A and B are shown apart, each in its own frame.
Chain A
């Protein structure tokens, strides 16, 4: 291929072969080696999505797929790369175990960090996650104080955050002072808080304590009266009981060993799926801790200065009543105070419980929808030491990769707003799920949308929604899409067009081919970076140019790589149904399907369904 390109002065390359999913970058490198820009390549998927997916002679489809690729390649523009400097400093917000450890590890890989803590001192109290593993906060804190790479700001808070990865401008308020600092990445480790989960007016008192308070009691050398009988509540109010299980087992054992008290654990389920839990449970039982299983929450009342617990034991099948000196109550694990405020400062979403990280799987383990902003530890809502330690390693690797060299290589202006056409309607700025667009001053000092090469994920959602068609998306813009549609239209009628998102439907279609699962041959796939990049405009044009029916396929709900792309696509398809009805075209001929990349059967079902509808409509 190399020699061919060089000898024949080739300017553009179409490769008609296997799926681009695994090989596009290989062919791009070949082009680069030959002196051509790697983006001047278009691939026709004639294997996984053609010869392996259909029975009989597929020559007609092969020819059409090649035509589509040729039409597209004519319009491709070169994409350059350039180096951008990035700020190597990292801001870690928080002062507890996760924050301190992250700062220490970041320092070890040579990155300077600021620890930003709103309280006056670093460190957590007893009863926090790490204390159950014997971590000593004071030695960690002295390590931090002695580390030259770590700056500690206590009694300080962020007030505004602007900019993007590699170049965050943070305003910090410390007392009366306001400090302006710049960072390349921001890591949030702001922890969690607990709230008593008892109902009917029970409050913390001498006899009803939290795990934290119980820990203090255990550690108190001058404890007046050692409780003779202790009750624990476990797993009734919150399903996420990994940490409470750890705390309960640990504290139950301690109480048994230190005080010799009678210890009873009332539980719904004992969830031992984190490291060391199974052993701890076994130890506790061997030591004589009594476990009592109950389906519903036990009834708790005060009884002469002690606590009465009434429950129905599942194994005995009987009601049991127990009065103990101390009850360690269940607590709910909630986002730390200030979580909502901070997340709106950073303009990131939160999950259904209010913790920082959206439940979108593509953001795991420690990412947010914005490049350069990370979440670790308890503030992610996942309380398990093993995971916390993994979080810290994860984030250190991520940040190191991004910032360590002080510069990063980006594709230049893959997506760009034309300053001449942009009317500064602010739609793209509001809509970008990754916060990559800002208002900037163009040369003639008009304010227009500026897309950051560093923060952009090239999803195309902005390009689709721009009402002035001012955003140029190299490789997936209107021209390239229309060129492919026109190639389809040139053939006989009866072709169905499927816009397939490269994270979901496209790999699902490939998988169908690999498994030799067959589906109707009259489907023509157009690969897009995100379903959200498909606009009503593209769908109408597809119909206008002769498509019989149109499929838009994207990721499952809650799993869009670009957070809102699939939701937007769904709304647009709905709107398109209406627009088509207005012009007496069957609205069912455009449909949205959600699927995951490992669901080839869903892809096939969608293709079959749309083929059926289009046949019924007589197209």
Chain B
């Protein structure tokens, strides 16, 4: 799912510096699961802001609300009364949620309180890693289920590069595995190394023309 991370406190405080009444809005889906913007983080951030501003002698009223999915207009509409009460909204949702809120409440500034970072999964408790690059042209069949677009630092299709560190670690980060070594090991286990031996022509980087649009077929 979408992984996000809370912005530094200084940055968040700057965003809402001119306001005296704000809404801290969370999302109950992806950012809840990755501990960045769920109901709990909303409460914690609101507490912190109140503590911070009261320490500065510039009290702030911080309302709290969490919708199930901030990227759904119908769900966002449920909190419209709270939005109406405030001067600005601090959204802990991913970029999709922030923009939906901004669109629904055009007269209110909506600020992002988290940085949306990647599509990923939990490697272990509290640790999320990037998995998918949303390239629109998935070829995981050829790489044993390891995506080189985001898991290879250079996004190579005929990897690895010559910079792999000892033990199969990535050139840029000794704590990260070289994706192509992972791909090799995976295909070796499946007896499919011939797939890795094939030449792969340059990728169509315009498979998804930004901004992307997908029309599902009518039911």
Contacts and interface: CB of A to CB of B under 8 A. Distances in A.
Interface string B1-14: 00000000110000
A584 B50 CA distance: 12
B51 A423 contact: no
B33 A425 contact: yes
Interface residues of A, number: 24
A582 B9 contact: yes
Given A431-B125, A466-B40, A536-B44, A544 B29 contact: no
- Give the residue among A427, A541, A583 with the most B Cβ atoms within 10 A: A583
A228 interface: no
B50 A544 contact: yes
Nearest to A478: B43
Given A467-B38, A467-B40, A469-B39, A423 B50 contact: no
Contact of B32 (A423, A430, A543, A585): A423
B35 interface: yes
A430 B9 CA distance: 29
A466 B33 CA distance: 9
Nearest to A430: B125
B18 interface: no
A192 B133 CA distance: 50
A580 B56 CA distance: 14
Given A467-B33, A584-B55, A579 B39 contact: no
B48 interface: yes
A79 to B, nearest CB: 25
Contacts of B33: 423, 425, 427, 467
Nearest to B1: A425
A342 interface: no
A304 B55 CA distance: 85
Contacts of A440: none
A272 interface: no
A540 B44 contact: yes
Nearest to A427: B125
Interface in B148-183: none
Q: Give the interface size bracket for B toward A.
A: 20 to 34
A431 B125 CA distance: 8
Given A423-B32, A431-B125, A467-B32, A540 B39 contact: no
A426 B128 CA distance: 13
A423 B31 CA distance: 11
Interface in A328-384: none
A543 B47 CA distance: 9
B9 A583 contact: yes
Interface in A501-549: 535-537, 540-541, 543-544
Interface in B28-82: 28-29, 32-33, 35, 38-41, 43-44, 47-52, 55-56
A468 B41 CA distance: 9
Contacts of A426: 122
Given A467-B33, A540-B48, A585 B125 contact: no
B40 to A, nearest CB: 5
Contacts of A467: 32-33, 35, 38-41
Given A536-B44, A579-B44, A585 B38 contact: no
B68 to A, nearest CB: 9
Contacts of B48: 540, 579, 582-583
A541 to B, nearest CB: 6
A427 B48 CA distance: 24
Interface of A: 421, 423, 425-427, 430-431, 466-469, 535-537, 540-541, 543-544, 579-580, 582-585
Interface of B: 9-10, 28-29, 32-33, 35, 38-41, 43-44, 47-52, 55-56, 122, 125
9 contacts: A421-B28, A423-B32, A430-B125, A467-B39, A540-B51, A544-B47, A583-B48, A584-B52, A585-B51
Given A468-B38, A544-B47, A583-B48, 17 more contacts: A423-B28, A431-B125, A466-B40, A467-B38, A467-B39, A468-B40, A469-B39, A536-B44, A541-B47, A543-B47, A544-B50, A580-B51, A582-B9, A583-B9, A583-B49, A583-B55, A584-B52
